[in-house]
Amino acid sequence: MCALGGGIAIQHRMAFQGEYFIGRYGIKAVEHAPPVKKMLEMGVPIGGGTDATRVASYNPWVSLYWLVAGKTVGGTTLYPETNRLSRMEALRLWTFGQQLVLGEEGKKGMIVPGKLADIAVLSDDYFSVAEEQIKRIESVLTIVDGKVVYGTGDFSKLAPPPLPVSPDWSPAKTYGGYHRSASAASNTSSYSHTHEGHGSPFVLTSSGELWRLGCDCFVF
């Protein structure tokens, strides 16, 4: 969590670090860390965020899964029902809540005339898909400022040429983005990097683990 623009940005670090937190502080301490539901009931302005990519992933659907299911990406339950949000409440933090936190009321966060209306066509229906599938939702078409900036599958022909991957040693250059392809996942691959101030390698495996980080740069 961090204070920003007169509100609170809720970041989903616990989705990735929950098991570590439980081991260090115990399950009782984690049940209300942070007390999102109570904060909303108190009228505290809250916006959803990721803190990407220093601590967590940039993926908003992992955050929405965490808020709704109360679980880590590994499936460990963190929060009781009393500290979980409905799907609409969680989505509201990422839309309406963001305009409050960033001080951008009147510019975005609602589908009304005069406000920004960027569009994402999703791979699944967020409101009806199984809860465990929320974290796997992806955009198949993204439109920003009236222009297509990303497209895949049926929308591939509308997509602009991909931007060069930076830095050029990023795993995204090999694995094609946030999710690895089925062919890449079938193999165990190692990737290491060394740059000044960091020394140890990290390894990307096919065993279901996200990352084994040996340095603190948290590059995704």
**Residue 178 DSSP one-character state:** S
| pTM (two decimals) | 0.72
pLDDT at 196: 47
pLDDT at 9: 64
pLDDT at 195: 44
pLDDT at 173: 76
Beta strands 7-11 and 46-49: pairing type?
parallel
Separation of alpha carbons 92 and 58, rounded Å: 18
User: Would you call 185 exposed, middle or buried from its count of C-beta atoms within 10 A (0-12, 13-18, 19+)?
Assistant: middle
Backbone angles phi, psi at 29, to 5 degrees: -70, -30
pLDDT at 200: 41
Low-confidence spans in the chain with pLDDT less than 50:
5, 180-220
pLDDT at 158: 95
Note the pLDDT tens digit of each residue in 2-56: 555 455 667 777 888 899 999 999 999 999 888 999 999 998 888 888 776 666 6
Q: Which among 68, 85, 69 is positioned nearest to 77, based on CA atoms?
A: 69
pLDDT at 17: 85
Radius of gyration of the chain (CA): 19
User: Dihedral of the CA atoms 137, 103, 112, 124 (nearest 10)?
Assistant: 0
**Under 8 Å between Cβ of 57 and 14:** no
